[in-house]
Every structure is written in C-alpha cells, then in structure tokens.
Amino acid sequence: MKRINFLLTAAFLLSLLVYAGCGSTSNPEPETAAEIQFNKLRGIWAATANSVERGGTDEPTYDNFTVTFAGSLNADRSNVEPSSTYNTNDVTNAFPSGTWSFDGDDVTTIVRGTNIKMDITTLNETTLVLEFSLNQDGSANRTAGLEGDWTFALTKQQ
C-alpha cells in the first residue's frame, strides 16, 4: 500500500511539473517597422565639429547642436502620435523644435511640422544621419538664408 501511495504521489507531482512547464501558447505581436524605428530614434542626439553640412560645406554654428525625439506610438503602432515632439537648441531655425511623424508607412522619412521631409539615411544604436532641403519658395523655409541641402550626422547621447 505504501508503494502505491508513493507512486500516486510521484505521478501527481510529475504531472504538476509538466503542466506548470507549459507556457502560454499565444505569441506576442511582432514589432512593427514604425515601432522598431521609433525605439531607435527616441532619445537625445548631438552633433560634433564638422557633422552638420549645407550644400557640402561645414556649418560650424551647429557644432553643439542637439535634438531630442520624444512621443508615443499610435494605437496600431504604425506611426507616432500627432503630438510627438522633438526639441532642439537650434538658434538659426534650419532645424527648430516642433512636431514630427513618419511619412505614412515610410519609416525612413520624418515629416517635421507639416511639410518638411527629412530622409533618414542612417539610423542605428549610435548614429543618425538626416538629410533634407530648405527651398527659397517658402514652403519649407521660414528664414531667408537657410535654403539648401542639409545633412545632420548625429551621435546618440541617451
């Protein structure tokens, strides 16, 4: 009788261990392209000497430039919320603080405000390179003298 009780107890404990080892069968939803890009982009980015150019010429005014991307993803994680912001220390207004989003499904383009599109040519854990144009027609340029093709090569700070 002791042997039967021992076997039943052992079988019961073994079945508990097997049952406890079975995890949930539901798979978490994979990250969306916007979510992956947003997680890389979020944080503080800084320029260094010779890392900001206009028309291929160094812009030393931007040697200590910083930009902080913040915000949150929308409900379906396909873009950022319209209230997502970025803050800069730009004194010349080529890259002033404002709101941002991805260009629809294109997570390699950031739309600043309502009409300035910046191409993300490099984005990884340490480097962000943004390229954009400011035109004389006023559609993407509020301050005279800033027109041209801009490149911001930035390094992640946090």
Q: What is the average pLDDT across 79-106? A: 94
Is position 17 within any domain? Answer: no
Is residue 95 a contact partner of residue 87, using CB atoms and an 8 Å limit? no
Q: Between the CA of residue 24 and those of 16, 20, 27, what are the distances in Å? A: 16, 10, 8
Of 16-25, 27-36, 113-122, 130-139, the least confident: 16-25
Residue 140 included in any domain: yes
Q: CA 82, 40, 87, 53 torsion: positive or negative?
A: negative
| Residue range of the domain that includes 96 | 42-156
User: CA quadruple 93, 51, 57, 121: dihedral positive or negative?
Assistant: negative
- Tell whether the model's pLDDT for residue 144 goes beyond 80: no
CA angle, residues 145, 108, 75, in degrees to nearest 5: 115
pLDDT of 135 above 90: no
Is 60 within a domain? Answer: yes
Q: What percent of the chain has pLDDT over 90?
A: 70
pLDDT digits (tens, 9 = 90+) for 51-72: 999 999 999 999 999 999 999 9
Question: Is 11 within a domain?
Answer: no
* 34 lies in some domain: no
Residue 141 confidence (pLDDT): 44
